Amino acid sequence: MNDKIVKGITKNKDVRFFACQATQTVSKAAELHDLSTTNTVLMGRMIAAAAMLASDLKNTKDNLSLKIDADGPSGKVIVTATKNGDVKAYMRNPRNEFPLKNKQFDLPAALGDGYLTIIKDIGMKNPYVGQVELRYKTIAQDLTYYFAQSEQLPSSVGLGVLIFPGGKVRQAGGFIVQLMPDASEDTISKLEDNLRKFPNYTDVMDMGYSSQQIIEKFILKDLQPLVKDTQDFRYRCNCSKHKFANGLKLLEKSELEEMLAEKKPVKVDCHFCNTTYEFTPVELEKILADKNNS
């Protein structure tokens, strides 16, 4: 089954929602980057969140990046998702592990102190950038805080990654619910009650409930949620040798000449998918010639 996002709004238009299953995408990220279990949980939560947020963009070429820049061992992470459902991720130190704390994965120890940033590239001259301090270091609570501070949008975010004893991903997913302007007190009260009673998202997934069922039977129970759209998403990097060649053209002429002087192939790696591209001396000569002629 493909990973999917469901999104919609309640019949009275008081609450809009997003929910997703992200198990395959998070599993792919964990495999590509050889993530420790703590870092699988960290990156997995960010992947689920970024995929849902990107699905709300307007145009197919739009993309969104969810970035953490903090001083902990795993505190440099970025996840980029496109409107059409492609997700890719990178973590500077993917393999370090941390002991459990109170039987929970210790994300605060992994992250340290820093900031969470959302960058939306929607085709304008400059991208939209919003940033908040990492107060809670759970990702879900930090995003809830972000929505309140940067977008003045009352929200609740739930994100989870359930791990098998051997370290592989068992379930991954999450939800975002947001109150619309002028939402009624009855709706707010009912939503708060539902959220208070709701268990862990991935535990409910593990019982066999789909994302849509979780929304309908638990999170927005008795609020008549209407699914307006569903969307597949997956881990897919859009790198190519052509793009890296264009990147090499941005180097100084002297740097390219130094590479050519060694008369050896040059290898460059994509941090998002670990693909290696090799450029022969002949190819480097063409890149240098193109640079000189541009």
The DSSP line for 73-141 is TT-EEEEEEETTSEEEEEESS-S-----BTTB--HHHHH-SEEEEEEEE-SSSS-EEEEEE-SSSSSHH
Whole-angstrom CA distances from 81 to 53, 99, 206, 253, 272 are: 8, 30, 25, 33, 12
**pLDDT tens figures, 242-262:** 999 999 999 999 999 999 999
| Structure confidence at residue 122 as a pLDDT band (50, 70, 90) | confident
Looking at per-residue pLDDT, the higher value among 67 and 290 belongs to 67
Q: Which two tokens stand for residue 119?
A: 């960058």
Tell me the pLDDT of the chain averaged across its residues. 95
Whole-angstrom CA distances from 9 to 52, 151, 179 are: 14, 19, 10
Residue ranges with strand state E in 152-241: 155-163, 169-179, 225-235
pLDDT, residue 37, reads 96
Residue 153 neighbours by CB distance under 10 Å: 15
pTM attached to this predicted model: 0.94
pLDDT, residue 126, reads 85
Intra-chain end-to-end CA distance of the chain, in Å: 48
User: For the chain, which domains are there?
Assistant: 3-235 (3.55.30.10), 241-293 (3.90.1280.10)
Buried/exposed code over 196-226 (b: 16+ C-beta within 10 A; e: otherwise): eebeebbebbeeebbbbebbbebbbbebebe
- Cα–Cα dist 211/230, whole Å: 11
